């Protein structure tokens, strides 16, 4: 496996997508990354804004958005339509060949509607299968897939799907063919801790350190499932995971920014 090529799977969210200037800056950095790369994007506030403009009420249960048919239509329009195609067009202007897709295209990402337990999340998908051959073929042609967080169930239903999960499942599925670096961009510079009253980024974090910092409540809240997912991806063959602010994507790749998660 030593001669596997590096593949970088990069996930960006609202802190990039909601700001055209940051998107442009990020895409310049993304275009400059050498070798195989895949971009997975979330949605940001654009979909919420559109729902408000259209007076489509958004239902939140325990802080989680419920995807009804109208909300799904908006998510597909905004994520798989405007956000996805705008970024692909911008990448060509940066000489970065790219192909935009959602999970239905070429059956790239098959999912199933999340089973109803305590909460019915509506038209939300849990990823079942990544079409490795399809991604492989595009990467071999030098195309960067740009993936919108919409999947399908194979029975005609599109499903709203978490972009972090999509990035992780793609990274795991492609780790047989590639040495995969999975990079999560979010609104912080990395996993943070307080040191002498100053907030600083933890440059490296292994499982043992994570468990200790979690026990001390230094790492808490939404960062815990993010990191647990990261360690699970490492177990599934992903080579390296970096968490940080996607505006510093090249520094993160060079190990000069963000938090590297190691086993």
**Which residues sit at the interface with its own copies, rule CB under 8 A?**
53-54, 73, 76-82, 84-86, 88-90, 92-93, 97-102, 104-107, 137-138, 141, 143, 150, 152, 154-158
Task: Say if residues 79 and 13 touch (Cβ distance below 8 Å).
Answer: no
Q: Which is nearer to its own copies, 14 or 145 (CB)?
A: 145
Q: Which is nearer to its own copies, 3 or 55 (CB)?
A: 55
Q: Which is nearer to its own copies, 155 or 194 (CB)?
A: 155
Q: How far is the CB of 68 from its own copies (least distance, A)?
A: 15
Q: How far is the CB of 140 from its own copies (least distance, A)?
A: 11
Q: Which is nearer to its own copies, 156 or 197 (CB)?
A: 156
Q: How far is the CB of 100 from its own copies (least distance, A)?
A: 5
Q: The dihedral of CA 197, 262, 184, 69: what is its sign?
A: negative
Distances (CA, A) of 174 to 131, 238, 255: 9, 8, 22
Work out the widest C-alpha separation in the chain, in whole angstroms: 56
Q: Counting Cβ atoms within 10 Å, is residue 107 exposed (0-12), middle (13-18) or buried (19+)?
A: middle
Q: How far is the CB of 141 from its own copies (least distance, A)?
A: 8
Query: How many residues are listed for the chain in this entry?
Result: 263
Distances (CA, A) of 84 to 25, 73, 99, 130, 190: 16, 15, 9, 19, 26
Q: How far is the CB of 230 from its own copies (least distance, A)?
A: 30
Q: Which is nearer to its own copies, 153 or 262 (CB)?
A: 153
Distance, CA of 249 to CA of 172 (rounded, Å): 20
Q: Which is nearer to its own copies, 145 or 185 (CB)?
A: 145
Distance, CA of 69 to CA of 91 (rounded, Å): 31
Please count the other Cβ atoms lying within 10 Å of the Cβ belonging to residue 157.
15
Q: How far is the CB of 153 from its own copies (least distance, A)?
A: 8
Q: How far is the CB of 46 from its own copies (least distance, A)?
A: 10
What value does the CA radius of gyration of the chain take, rounded to a whole number of Å? 18
Q: Which is nearer to its own copies, 145 or 244 (CB)?
A: 145
Distance, CA of 116 to CA of 121 (rounded, Å): 7
């Amino acid at each position: 496996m030593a001669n596997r090529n590096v593949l970088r799977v990069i996930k960006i969210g609202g802190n990039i997508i909601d700001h055209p200037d940051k998107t442009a800056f990020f895409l310049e950095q993304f275009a400059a990354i050498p070798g195989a790369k895949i971009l997975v994007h979330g949605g940001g506030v654009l979909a919420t804004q559109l729902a408000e403009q259209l007076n489509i009420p958004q239902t939140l249960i325990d802080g989680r958005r419920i995807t009804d048919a109208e909300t799904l239509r908006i998510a597909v329009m905004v994520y798989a339509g405007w956000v996805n195609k705008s970024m692909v067009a911008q990448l060509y202007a940066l000489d970065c060949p790219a192909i935009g897709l959602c999970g239905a295209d070429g059956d790239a990402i098959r999912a199933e509607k999340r089973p109803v337990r305590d909460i019915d999340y509506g038209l939300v998908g849990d990823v079942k299968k990544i079409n490795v051959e399809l991604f492989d073929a595009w990467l071999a042609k030098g195309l960067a897939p740009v993936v919108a967080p919409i999947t399908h169930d194979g029975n005609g239903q599109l499903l709203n799907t978490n972009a972090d999960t999509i990035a992780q499942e793609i990274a795991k599925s492609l780790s047989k063919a590639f040495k995969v670096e999975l990079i999560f961009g979010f609104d912080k510079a990395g996993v943070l801790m307080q040191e002498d009253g100053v907030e600083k980024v933890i440059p490296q974090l292994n499982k043992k350190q994570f468990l200790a910092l979690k026990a001390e409540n230094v790492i808490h809240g939404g960062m815990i499932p993010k990191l647990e997912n990261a360690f699970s991806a490492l177990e599934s063959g992903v080579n390296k995971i970096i968490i940080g602010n996607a505006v510093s994507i090249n520094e993160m790749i060079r190990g000069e920014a963000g938090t590297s998660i190691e086993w």
